[in-house]
Copies of this chain bind each other. A is one copy, B any other.
Amino acid sequence: MKSKTEYLTINTKTRYAFVNITSQVRKIIKESEVKEGLCLVNSMHISSSVFINDDETGLHNDFEKWLDRLAPHDPINQYRHNDTGEDNADAHLKRQIMGREVIVAITDRELDFGSWEQIFYGEFDGQRNKKILIKVIGE
């Protein structure tokens, strides 16, 4: 069995952001020399997500508006978590809807993807360094 572990660091300029990390994941899969296997991609933080969806700006705007309707940031005193001095309780909720991780298949040395699948890092409490873990196993 082969394995390869890499970490990406992302620091978004805005509180909310969706960053396409597909090309970085492809590069790590290629370097791993795994022919058949699985690749885990997860946020190492609890106020952000890794998910797969469309690389379309309008949809990203829809996600942002929708998530803020389901788990509003304001008023921050609606959340008991924010009594600790934080203001990011909503980010912990949003991340549950969008998910922590994806597992993707590697088939014949390539990311085995549908036509429109793209991997995103979803940030809900940005403007500081955040880490993503990428782990390939297979042979």
A interface residues with partner B (beta carbon < 8 Å): 1, 3, 5, 36-38, 40, 42-46, 51-54, 56-59, 61-63, 66, 70-71, 79-84, 89, 92-93, 95-105, 107, 112-114, 116-117, 131, 133, 135, 137-139
Cα-based distance from A138 to B100 in the complex (angstroms): 21
List of B residues within 8 angstroms of A82 by Cβ = 58
Indicate if the CB atoms of B63 and A93 lie closer than 8 Å. yes
Indicate if the CB atoms of A58 and B42 lie closer than 8 Å. no
From the candidates B1, B99, B138, name the one contacting A99 in the complex (CB within 8 A). Answer: B99
A58, A98, A116, most chain B CB atoms within 10 A: A58
Indicate if the CB atoms of A137 and B138 lie closer than 8 Å. yes
Copies of this chain present: 3
From the candidates B46, B79, B100, name the one contacting A62 in the complex (CB within 8 A). Answer: B79
A41–chain B nearest beta-carbon distance, Å: 10
Given the known interface contacts A52-B46, A59-B81, A117-B44, the answer about A107 and B135 at a Cβ–Cβ threshold of 8 Å is yes
Indicate if the CB atoms of A135 and B105 lie closer than 8 Å. yes
Cα-based distance from A57 to B82 in the complex (angstroms): 11
Could you write out 27 A-B pairs with CB less than 8 Å apart? Answer: A1-B36, A1-B138, A3-B37, A38-B40, A38-B135, A40-B105, A42-B105, A43-B114, A46-B54, A51-B96, A51-B100, A53-B95, A53-B96, A56-B81, A58-B79, A59-B89, A59-B92, A62-B89, A62-B92, A62-B93, A63-B96, A66-B71, A96-B99, A97-B97, A107-B135, A112-B133, A114-B131
